[in-house]
Amino acid sequence: MDAVVAATHPLDPLSLDEIASAVAILKDTQTLAATFRFPIIRLEEPTKADLAAHRLGDRLPRLAFILAIDISNGETFEGVVDLTAGTVSSYIRLPLDELPYGQPPIMLCEFETVEGTVKSDPRWIAAVKKRGITDEDIPLIQIDPFSSGYFGREFEKGKRIVRAVSYWREDIRDNGYAHPIEGVVAVVDLITNQVVDLVDDEKIIPVPRKKRNYGRETFPEPRPDLKPLQIVQPQGSSFTVDGWKVEWQNWSFRVGFTPREGLVLHELGIRDQGRLRPVVFRASVTEMVVPYADPTANHYWKSAFDAGEYGLGRLANCLELGCDCLGHIHYFDVPAADDFGQPFIMKNAICMHEEDYGILWKHYEFRNGIFEVRRSRRLVISFFATVGNYDYGFYWYLYQDGTIQLEAKLTGIIQTAAVATGETYPWGGMVDDNLGGPTHQHFFNARLHMDVDGGDNTVTEHEFVPRPWGEDNPYGNVFDTKTRVLKRELDSPALANGETGRYWKVSNPNIQNSVGKAPGYKIVVMPSPVMLAQPDSTVAQRGGFAKKHIWVTAFDAREKYASGDYPNVHAGGDGLPGYVRQNRKIENADVVLWHSFGHTHVCKPEDFPIMPVEYAGFTLKPNGFFASNIAMDLPPEGHGQSVDNRLQPSPDDTGNGSCCHT
């Protein structure tokens, strides 16, 4: 349901009316032509300092950030509209025609024009006909516009381009990725709507024709032995929602959403002995990149920055189309804008529900017969984005013991390569006859603007090292914790190390906990690769954030994204590597913790036609933050809830708050 807001909080997303007003003010004030489009319209968020002043009574203006591009010539402007005053605070032309270049995200309206541009190009028609494509085939061919990367070519410098690859289909519902047209790549200028370069590889590989469809009509007789599994909460959920604010099991936070990042969590804190203690001021996934390890014509340039080049929020699924969540659900409808600046509602874009998560704590004392066990429950706040062939779910979990977790779920359809009969595919794995899947990597970057106990924070790096034999280690069993304080930004870029158990802790050195130490949270890093592309490669220059697991920066409101503001057709060097070169002080400061994590995917037959979910993510766990286990006061199973009635229908089995059984 849409958030019902009685009084707008400074962090609330722009409403439909605010979006319409902001666009109208900008158009009127700047006399914008009808050729202007708007890839990004979002709230220009207040800072920690702004909100501190607001709590003391200062009124903050509502500001809207608008990215405007004239599609007749590519000129791009950043505007900030003061909705409170009804004026334009700033309107700046971006020098995207100068090094290091860069472009706004690709828009849906542009995607829709690429197919016609490609299919009308005589060079492309001749190239696909060499591969057995007929005039009758062309109307059903699938054209995939793909963010182009950057390699220093003249048609890339300061240009708004995409590279387009093609897939044969016999029917509109066919899975085109089973039929790649190998060796043909069209480069389309989105401003001139022309093919400015065409790759037609000399090696002709026949188009694979075996069908690998996945629509439900492909499997008319599903397995019959799956019995219903019902998850219901007869007494309703344990969370409360007030507009965009949520409270659950001592947790308190605000939900936000941006076109680039999608789901954002604001002012995440937890009540402890009656006091709300801040933990994270703002948490989101600001970027992801998917570099491919195939050097051939169709694939070497593939390195989609799915947030910066497309927008995870703009591509969020409307969950009314299907059920991604199970249980007693609260949906958030998100106000958004299309490419023309027209407001609309993204229905059910965010899903929130509770899940049972097994055992939280347990002990059986056989000496006196005390047996105590408590089950864990977690709150799930999630959304899914479909970016071309891949689908990504982002799931934030809050636990009753103070733990915070982010889990990225990777599914969808792999990119494919045609392989000639009798040949093997050297750049990945075979997934079917004449069909290979290029090896590639997925990297995400989470931006955590920390606020542990509401003050300046310090980040320390810890790892375990064996103590040498000696008088203080006579049996050889002692090991120590080695600690390093990150004092300046260049101290921070680091890799995880499972062998030494390396971890990082964010603490507040200005406060003492119950044992005289600084209260903190530690980040628990899952086993995760880093980008394996050569450091001087263009993808590594553009996605340098993926070369390290951990980065820490001093807060700067201008530094929002791990890859920089405009990675699309960008020459590289922006984002986190550039931020930390300033080498600002980060000890006992307002700090942002950035974590890169991901997955290396060597494709296999089980990944096709749709790959089962792969998981990646991290956890933030309290470390000296509480005086004891704060989940000790949870009721035993059956106390305060009816075990016998758990499988009875919910009082409201339709719409918001329903149990999803589709």
Active site residues: 306, 390
Residue 14: predicted pLDDT: 98
Tens of pLDDT, residues 421-441: 999 999 999 999 999 999 999
User: How far, in Å, CA of 110 to CA of 377, rounded?
Assistant: 44
CATH class, range 16-94? alpha beta
6 pLDDT tier (thresholds 50, 70, 90)? low
Return the structure tokens found at 545: 């954030």
Tens of pLDDT, residues 346-395: 999 999 999 999 999 999 999 999 999 999 999 999 999 999 999 999 99
Return the structure tokens found at 204: 């002709």
Cis omega (within 30 of 0) for bond into 519: no
Residue 649 pLDDT more than 80? no
Amino acid in the structure at residue 362: K
Residue 3: predicted pLDDT: 53
User: How far, in Å, CA of 104 to CA of 158, rounded?
Assistant: 11
Residue 321: predicted pLDDT: 60
Residue 230 pLDDT more than 90? no
Q: How far is CA 341 from CA 210, 256, 311, 335, in A?
A: 43, 20, 15, 12
Mean pLDDT across 607-631: 98
Q: Are strands 458-466 and 568-570 parallel, antiparallel or unpaired?
A: unpaired
Residue 650 pLDDT more than 50? no
Cβ 136 vs Cβ 128: under 8 Å: no
Burial class (CB in 10 A: 0-12, 13-18, 19+), 604: middle
Alpha helices in 429-561 (DSSP H): 538-542
CATH class, range 108-218? alpha beta
Q: Which letter does DSSP use for residue 58 in this model?
A: P
φ, ψ of residue 133 to 5 degrees: the values are: -85, 135
Return the structure tokens found at 6: 């009685």
SS3 assignment, position 157: coil
Tens of pLDDT, residues 177-190: 999 999 999 999 99
Q: How far is CA 374 from CA 247, 555, 635, in A?
A: 21, 39, 7
Backbone CA torsion sign across 453, 457, 461, 467: negative
Q: What is the mean pLDDT of the chain?
A: 94
Cβ 425 vs Cβ 631: under 8 Å: no
Tens of pLDDT, residues 389-405: 999 999 999 999 999 99
Q: What's the per-residue H, E or C state across 585-631?
A: ECCCECEEEEEEEEEEECCCHHHCCCEEEEEEEEEEEEECCCCCCCC
Residue 659: predicted pLDDT: 40
Residue 392, strand partner residues: 385, 410
What residue segments make up the domains of the chain, in order of their start?
16-94, 108-218, 249-623
Residue 643 pLDDT more than 80? no
Structural domain 249-623, CATH architecture: Distorted Sandwich (2.70)
Mean pLDDT across 1-22: 83
User: How far, in Å, CA of 265 to CA of 281, rounded?
Assistant: 8
Residue 10: predicted pLDDT: 97
SS3 assignment, position 213: coil
Residue 547 pLDDT more than 80? yes
SS3 assignment, position 224: coil
User: How far, in Å, CA of 126 to CA of 124, rounded?
Assistant: 5
Residue 646 pLDDT more than 80? no
Query: What is the full DSSP assignment across 557-593?
Result: TT---TT-S--EEE-S--SHHHHHTT--B-TTB-EEE
- Chain CA centroid to CA 583, Å: 27
Cβ 624 vs Cβ 507: under 8 Å: yes
Backbone CA torsion sign across 446, 451, 452, 456: positive
559 pLDDT tier (thresholds 50, 70, 90)? very high
Please provide the distance, in angstroms rounded to a whole number, between the alpha carbons at the two ends of the chain. Answer: 18
One fold for 108-218 and 249-623: no
